[in-house]
Chains A and B, each alone.
Chain A
Amino acid sequence: MARYIVRRLIWALLMLIAVSGVVFILFYVFPSADPAQLRAGRQANEDQIEAIRESLGLDKSVLEQFWIYLKGVFTPLDLPGTDSTGPLYLGHSYQSNADVKDVIVSDLPATALLVFGAVIIWMAVAIPTGIISAIRQRSLLDRSTMITTLVFISAPVFWLGLVALYLFAQDVGVIPVFPGIGSYATADTFLSKCASMILPWLVLAAATAAIYARYLRSQMIDVMQEDYIRTARAKGLPEKRVIGKHVLRSAITPIVTLLGLDVAVLLAGNAILTETVFNIPGIGAETFNAIKRSDLPMIQGITLFGAFFIVTLNLVVDIVYAYLDPRVRYE
């Protein structure tokens, strides 16, 4: 087990360096736009742009720039010459000159509340729906559930958000029951923050709940054809026990893996659409603002931060798996 963990740790570290490299190439080498001019703004003259080019280190070779960038991200200490504040130095915003890392840290709570609430809702909906559909396979209930889920999968989340607000928001809704746009920012207690999240939670959970319900259903149908399920039935176990213990247990394992990855991706900023529609001051909304202001270091920093999050969560999932299933360790 210890050897396995060490191996996975080394692999995760290599992965982080590789991800930094890819993000660097994509944001520095791919675009044709000149970062110095972006930083300088529209009214800058040649000398100012030249000065900025030097201060950003853009006059150095690409490899040198990458090395400086890597040092900023991975060195655990302050570096002379940079005003970095320790590890994970992701640069400064072109617009507000704020440290990208500080901005991310201050945005994280809103995103976390959004994602974890949505997770609880989508799991609570998806698991019973998937089970019932699988047991009553091809019944009218199953067919209509599967079509409904497909409708939710097919609706763009940002549009679903607008429709939900139009119908249920307290300020503009036809049936004003839930707090509307921007209510998170004005909420002061945890409970009122949660209330302001009800619509965003439902909207963010809708598509994922549908995907999970369909996935669980097809997993269960597969498992129900296994020999050991027939054995369990043959030895006279009650159906409840066969489904609850034998089928569900192995059908739900891949869902847990999926869940780990989805949570990581959403926390990493993929909730951008929901946050934008509901004006929730989280990581996704920050990215949206950065895009509007052409704030390249901010976009890049958030992307890299998100990747770190995904790699770390994958590492945790892998280790938990190895603990649960010893076979994995010897692969």
Chain B
Amino acid sequence: MEASQFREEREAPVGGSAELVGSDFVVPLRSPWRLFWDRFREDRLALLSLAFIGLLVLVAILAPAIVSILGAPDPNARDTAALDPLFATPTGPSADHWFGIDQLGRDVFSRTVYGARVSLVVAFAATALATVFGVVAGLLAGYYRGWTDTVISRFVDVLLAIPYLLLATGLAAACTLGQTSGGGGAGCLGGLIEPGLGVVIFVIAFTSWTYMARIVRGQVLSLREKEFVEAARSMGASDMRIVFRELLPNLTAPIIVYASILIPQVILYEAALSFLGVGVGSDTPSWGQMISEATPVFADAWWYMLFPGLALVFTVLAFNFVGDAMQDALNPRKRRS
């Protein structure tokens, strides 16, 4: 649906200008990406969000430099002297520790800065992996139909029938078990996927590719009947060429839109897994895990849950604004806001 609208939009200046032939009025030809960008630019909130995401990526990459330039301690350094002298409880924001410290005396500010790394790496990697899974499965199911379609679509049905959060936590726990409980080897698929970041990315991608597959399959089912596919086939193009060189480029728009919607969901997903204790290991600061550690002390140490929580909300919100604006820019007839 999105793809065909996108294509119509591109052809509109040509088809729509039929009555203008001969007049002086010339419709400037703009590339579809140019059109898309022009519409996207109208949304101020989305532009602001895009800038925020760019800044966040920089913060994530330069985290060590930022922390040392600002004179904040290392994220894993334990400043036990800063703990409350009487009860050894975390203390709040101060000149030494801008966002306060946690139960172990670790600096909440530098942990929040470093936390951006896990969130963004998982967000991009898991989304990319889920997109590749979903697109390939959808292309094959939609193009070959018949048995291929039945097998892929039924598998998607089965996966959608399993509560995804339980499946993901269970799988992540099972893949990490060997490490914590001394139960032999750790990891998944015979050590192919290692505990930690690898397991988290794999588990999220494995439970997130299904909708992408359904969307792509639906698009391909109608696209494969179009003349340009027939033309390619009559010229002797192989199946692989038709699928990846003819069909895939026409699906760019819906794929990008859906991937951009997936990113904020994946960030929340990673935070949830970390909160439940099956995320990246505890030496790597992550926002979800910080909130999890803050849970037993949240009533007194409000700063420990507040800052990583705000970081999460702003990040996810920025990605959501961008995703929304992209959807609107690709579907001008169906504006949302």
Residues of A that sit less than 8 Å from B by CB: 15, 18-19, 22-23, 26-27, 30-35, 37-38, 42, 138, 142-143, 146-147, 150-151, 153-159, 162-163, 165-166, 171-172, 214, 218, 221-222, 265, 268-270, 272-273, 276-277, 287-288, 291-292, 294, 296, 299-300, 302-303, 306-307, 310-311, 314
Nearest-neighbour CB distance to chain A for B192, whole angstroms, equals 9
A154 touches B163 (CB 8 A): no
Contact of B166 among A32, A214, A303 (CB under 8 A): A303
Instruction: Compute how far the CA of A14 lies from the CA of B23 in the bound complex, rounded to whole angstroms.
Output: 65
B169 touches A146 (CB 8 A): no
- Chain B hits for A159, CB < 8 A: 291, 305, 309, 312-313
Contact of A154 among B183, B189, B302, B317 (CB under 8 A): B317
Instruction: Compute how far the CA of A269 lies from the CA of B166 in the bound complex, rounded to whole angstroms.
Output: 7
Nearest-neighbour CB distance to chain A for B326, whole angstroms, equals 14
Give the 10 A-B residue pairs with the shortest CB-CB distance, closest first: A33-B178, A172-B299, A34-B184, A32-B185, A154-B316, A31-B174, A306-B163, A154-B317, A299-B170, A37-B183
B310 to A, closest residue via Cβ: A159
Extra A-B contacts (16), CB below 8 Å, given A30-B188, A159-B291:
A32-B184, A32-B188, A34-B185, A35-B183, A37-B182, A146-B337, A147-B45, A166-B302, A265-B164, A270-B165, A294-B173, A294-B177, A299-B169, A303-B170, A306-B166, A311-B161
* Most chain A beta-carbon contacts within 10 A, residue among B45, B189, B271, B295: B295
B315 to A, closest residue via Cβ: A154
- Chain A hits for B295, CB < 8 A: 162, 277
- Chain B hits for A151, CB < 8 A: 313, 317
Instruction: Compute how far the CA of A291 lies from the CA of B264 in the bound complex, rounded to whole angstroms.
Output: 25
A-facing residues in B127-166 (Cβ within 8 Å): 154, 157-159, 161-166
Q: Which of B8-16, B84-92, B275-283 forms contacts with chain A?
A: B275-283
B174 touches A27 (CB 8 A): yes
Contact of B178 among A32, A291, A307 (CB under 8 A): A32
- Quick one: given A22-B162, A272-B276, A273-B272, are A32 and B181 in contact (CB under 8 Å)? no
B184 touches A30 (CB 8 A): no
Instruction: Compute how far the CA of A307 lies from the CA of B159 in the bound complex, rounded to whole angstroms.
Output: 9
Contact of B163 among A15, A165, A307 (CB under 8 A): A307
B170 touches A30 (CB 8 A): no
A-facing residues in B267-299 (Cβ within 8 Å): 268, 271-272, 275-278, 288, 291-292, 294-295, 298-299
Q: Is B30's CB within 8 Å of the partner chain A?
A: no
B299 touches A166 (CB 8 A): yes
B317 touches A32 (CB 8 A): no
Q: Would you list 6 pairs from A and B whose C-beta atoms are within 8 A, ordered by A residue?
A: A15-B161, A154-B313, A155-B309, A156-B271, A294-B183, A303-B170
B170 touches A27 (CB 8 A): yes
- Chain B hits for A265, CB < 8 A: 163-164
B337 touches A143 (CB 8 A): yes
Interface size band for B: 35 or more
B177 to A, closest residue via Cβ: A33
- Quick one: given A154-B313, A154-B320, A156-B268, are A34 and B178 in contact (CB under 8 Å)? yes
Instruction: Compute how far the CA of A192 lies from the CA of B163 in the bound complex, rounded to whole angstroms.
Output: 30
- Chain B hits for A35, CB < 8 A: 183
- Chain A hits for B336, CB < 8 A: 146, 214, 218
Q: Is B102's CB within 8 Å of the partner chain A?
A: no
- Chain A hits for B292, CB < 8 A: 158
- Quick one: given A19-B158, A19-B161, A37-B182, are A154 and B264 in contact (CB under 8 Å)? yes
Residues of B that sit less than 8 Å from A by CB: 45, 154, 157-159, 161-167, 169-171, 173-175, 177-178, 180-191, 264, 268, 271-272, 275-278, 288, 291-292, 294-295, 298-299, 302, 305, 309, 312-313, 316-317, 320-321, 324, 334, 336-337
B177 touches A296 (CB 8 A): yes
- Chain A hits for B169, CB < 8 A: 272, 287, 291, 299
- Chain B hits for A156, CB < 8 A: 268, 271-272, 275, 288, 291, 309, 312-313, 316
- Chain A hits for B185, CB < 8 A: 32-34
Instruction: Compute how far the CA of A273 lies from the CA of B163 in the bound complex, rounded to whole angstroms.
Output: 13
A291 touches B189 (CB 8 A): no
Nearest-neighbour CB distance to chain A for B27, whole angstroms, equals 26
Nearest-neighbour CB distance to chain B for A206, whole angstroms, equals 12
* Most chain A beta-carbon contacts within 10 A, residue among B154, B157, B183: B183
Contact of B334 among A22, A157, A214, A222 (CB under 8 A): A222
B164 touches A270 (CB 8 A): yes
- Chain A hits for B299, CB < 8 A: 165-166, 171-172
- Chain A hits for B272, CB < 8 A: 156-158, 273
Instruction: Compute how far the CA of A22 lies from the CA of B164 in the bound complex, rounded to whole angstroms.
Output: 13
Instruction: Compute how far the CA of A158 lies from the CA of B268 in the bound complex, rounded to whole angstroms.
Output: 10
Instruction: Compute how far the CA of A26 lies from the CA of B165 in the bound complex, rounded to whole angstroms.
Output: 14
Instruction: Compute how far the CA of A192 lies from the CA of B148 in the bound complex, rounded to whole angstroms.
Output: 54
Instruction: Compute how far the CA of A296 lies from the CA of B183 in the bound complex, rounded to whole angstroms.
Output: 12
- Chain A hits for B187, CB < 8 A: 31-32
A157 to B, closest residue via Cβ: B272
Instruction: Compute how far the CA of A98 lies from the CA of B167 in the bound complex, rounded to whole angstroms.
Output: 21
Contact of B162 among A165, A288, A307 (CB under 8 A): A307
Contact of B167 among A26, A163, A166 (CB under 8 A): A26
Nearest-neighbour CB distance to chain B for A208, whole angstroms, equals 13
Instruction: Compute how far the CA of A154 lies from the CA of B316 in the bound complex, rounded to whole angstroms.
Output: 5
A42 to B, closest residue via Cβ: B182
Instruction: Compute how far the CA of A265 lies from the CA of B207 in the bound complex, rounded to whole angstroms.
Output: 14
- Chain B hits for A26, CB < 8 A: 167, 170-171, 174
B170 to A, closest residue via Cβ: A299
Instruction: Compute how far the CA of A23 lies from the CA of B45 in the bound complex, rounded to whole angstroms.
Output: 43
Instruction: Compute how far the CA of A195 lies from the CA of B271 in the bound complex, rounded to whole angstroms.
Output: 29
Instruction: Compute how far the CA of A273 lies from the CA of B273 in the bound complex, rounded to whole angstroms.
Output: 10
- Chain B hits for A299, CB < 8 A: 166, 169-170, 173-174
Instruction: Compute how far the CA of A138 lies from the CA of B336 in the bound complex, rounded to whole angstroms.
Output: 9
A292 to B, closest residue via Cβ: B277
Instruction: Compute how far the CA of A303 lies from the CA of B162 in the bound complex, rounded to whole angstroms.
Output: 7
A155 to B, closest residue via Cβ: B313
Instruction: Compute how far the CA of A272 lies from the CA of B170 in the bound complex, rounded to whole angstroms.
Output: 12
